[in-house]
Amino acid sequence: MQSIEKLKFLTETQVRSIAKQFGTPVFVYSREGIEKSCDTALSFPNAFGLTVRYAMKANPNRTVLEIMKRKGIHIDASSEYEAQRAIHYGFKPEQIMLTSQELAKDLKELVESGVVFNACSLRQLESFGKLFPGKEVSVRFNPGLGSGHTKKTDVGGKTSSFGVWHEDIEKVKEIADAYGLKIFKIHTHIGSGSDPEVWRAVAQVSLDIAARFPDCRILDLGGGFKVGRMEDEKTTDFQTIGKPVAELFREFASKYGTQLHLEIEPGSFLMVNNGAVVSAVDDVVSTGNGGYTFVKLDSGMDLNTRPSLYAARHPLVVVSAEGEHSGKTAEYVYVGHCCESGDLITQAEGGGPVPRITGEAKLGDYVVMEGAGAYCSSMSTKNYNSFPETAEVLVGADGVFQLIRKRQNLEQIFQNEIPVSL
C-alpha cells in the first residue's frame, strides 16, 4: 500500500498563511533545516581536516548563500557567473572554487582575485598554464565509475564528459611540467547515487590518483550524497560513508607521508528537504473509464523541471484551503500549468502518467510539493508560457515568514527585449 506523504517542515496553518500572504505558487525554505544540514555536513568524518563547499547551482538565492556563509561553508561554483555572484554576496574569492564545463572568459581576473581554479579538461589545464606558469592548480578527474539514480545524474564513467579521463594522467603531467604547474588538489565527483560502496571505491581510486602527484595536499571527493525525498527513499548517512573513507586517508598518510585535507561538495544534501513549493489546485478533470483523474496545479515545469527531466518523484501533500479534511484519499495524476505534454508532475521515466494516492484534492486547496529546496528554482524553465519567476520565502525558527525573492511582474519578463523597425 502506497504511503501518504506528510509535510516535512511546515504546518498546515503555515501553508494557508503563506499562500494568503504571498500568493501561489511560492517556494518556501526552512532556515532551521538548512542550518541543521550544514552542521551535519560539517561533522563529516575526516582524518586531517575538512572543507565543505556548497554546490551553489543547487540554489543560489542570496539569503540561502548568506546562511551557508555564516555556517562556514565555502563555495563550489560551476560557472564564472556563479563565482562572480558569490563574490558579490560577500564570499571571499579564496573561499570559491570554480569547476566549470566551459572555460571562463574572465579566468585571469578571477584567479588573480583569489578564486581557486579546478581544470576539468586538458585544454582547460593548458589554458591555465599559459596564463599562470608556475602557479598551483586543481585538476578534476573522471575516475572511470560513477553512481546516480538515472543515467542523467551519473557524472562518472565513460558516459560522462566531466573531468579529465583517469587514463590521461601522463598527459596532465606533461602539461604541468611544460608550464611548471603544481597540482595541489585532485577532484573527483561521481553523481547523485546513494551506494556507499561505490563512493568508497571512488575514494580509493581518487587517492590512487592523488598518489601520482607529489604536490597534492587536498583531495576533493565532490558530492554524490543521495537525499531521499519520498518516504520509501533513503538519505545518505555521512557517518556511515565517511568513517571508512577517513580510514583510507590515514592509510594514505602512513604509506606516502602526506596528510591529505578532505573537501566535499554537497548541494542536494544541504537543501533538498529544506524547501517546498506551495501551489493551488486550479482544476480537476477526468478522462473517463479506463482513464485518469488529473489535478491541475497553478505551478509546473516553469519552476520545477525535475519531473520532466528525470521523472523525479516529489512528495505531494494536499492541504485543505478551509482547514477541514474529509479524511478521504484518491488516486490522481498531477500535472502542471504549462501548455506542454511533458509537464507531468507524476510521471514514469521516459514519459507517461503515473497516478499518485494523496488526500482528496478540491478546487482551491493547496498542494505542497516537498523536496524542492535544490535544483528546482535554480533549474527551472523560467518564463516558459511567459509565467513569471516564482517568489521565494524563508521561514525562520520563530515561524516568521520573510520574502527573499519577489515574484516577477509582466514587464520584467520581457524587459531585455529590444524593439526594432521592421
DSSP string over 316-329: EEEE-SSS-----E
Q: 394's torsion region: left (phi>0), alpha (psi -120 to 50) or beta?
A: beta
Same domain for 396 and 316 = yes
Same domain for 391 and 289 = yes
Of 83-87, 159-163, 308-312, 356-360, the least confident: 159-163
pLDDT, residue 153, reads 40
| Residue 323 falls inside a structural domain | yes
**Confidence band (pLDDT; 50, 70, 90) for 206?**
very high
| Residue 7 falls inside a structural domain | no
| Residue 153 falls inside a structural domain | yes
| Residue 419 falls inside a structural domain | no
| Residues spanned by the domain of 335 | 12-28+274-414
Same domain for 18 and 109 = no
Same domain for 266 and 286 = no
Nine-digit cell at 127?
A: 589554458
**Confidence band (pLDDT; 50, 70, 90) for 157?**
low
CB burial of residue 287 (10 Å; 0-12, 13-18, 19+): exposed
| Residue 38 falls inside a structural domain | no
| Residue 422 falls inside a structural domain | no
pLDDT exceeds 90 at position 185: yes
Number of domains in the chain: 2
**Confidence band (pLDDT; 50, 70, 90) for 320?**
very high
pLDDT, residue 302, reads 96
* Active-site position among 120, 338, 339, 376: 339
| Residue 144 falls inside a structural domain | yes
**Confidence band (pLDDT; 50, 70, 90) for 197?**
confident
Same domain for 177 and 55 = yes
d(C-alpha 301, C-alpha 137), whole Å: 39
pLDDT exceeds 50 at position 380: yes
pLDDT, residue 162, reads 86
Same domain for 213 and 81 = yes
| Residue 394 falls inside a structural domain | yes
- Which residue has cell 520565502? 393
Tell me the CATH number at 24: 2.40.37.10
State yes or no: is 339 an active-site residue.
yes
Same domain for 238 and 279 = no
Same domain for 285 and 229 = no
Same domain for 109 and 251 = yes
First CA to last CA across the chain, in angstroms? 62
pLDDT exceeds 60 at position 156: no
Q: Where are the beta strands (DSSP E) in 11-160?
A: 26-30, 50-55, 74-77, 96-98, 116-119, 136-142
d(C-alpha 377, C-alpha 66), whole Å: 17
Residue 284 β-bridge partners: 295
pLDDT exceeds 90 at position 161: no
Same domain for 218 and 76 = yes
Q: Calculate the CA dihedral of residues 324, 328, 331, 332 and round it to 10 degrees.
A: -10
Residue that is last in its domain, among 270, 301, 336 = 270
- Predicted structure pTM score: 0.94
pLDDT, residue 193, reads 55
pLDDT exceeds 50 at position 392: yes
**Pick from 50, 51, 47: which is nearest to 76 by CA?**
51
Same domain for 340 and 223 = no
pLDDT, residue 326, reads 73
Same domain for 148 and 100 = yes
pLDDT tens-digit map of 251-270: 999 999 999 999 999 999 99
d(C-alpha 126, C-alpha 404), whole Å: 41
pLDDT exceeds 90 at position 283: yes
Residue that is last in its domain, among 220, 247, 270 = 270
pLDDT, residue 148, reads 45
Tell me the CATH number at 251: 3.20.20.10
Residue that is last in its domain, among 212, 242, 270 = 270
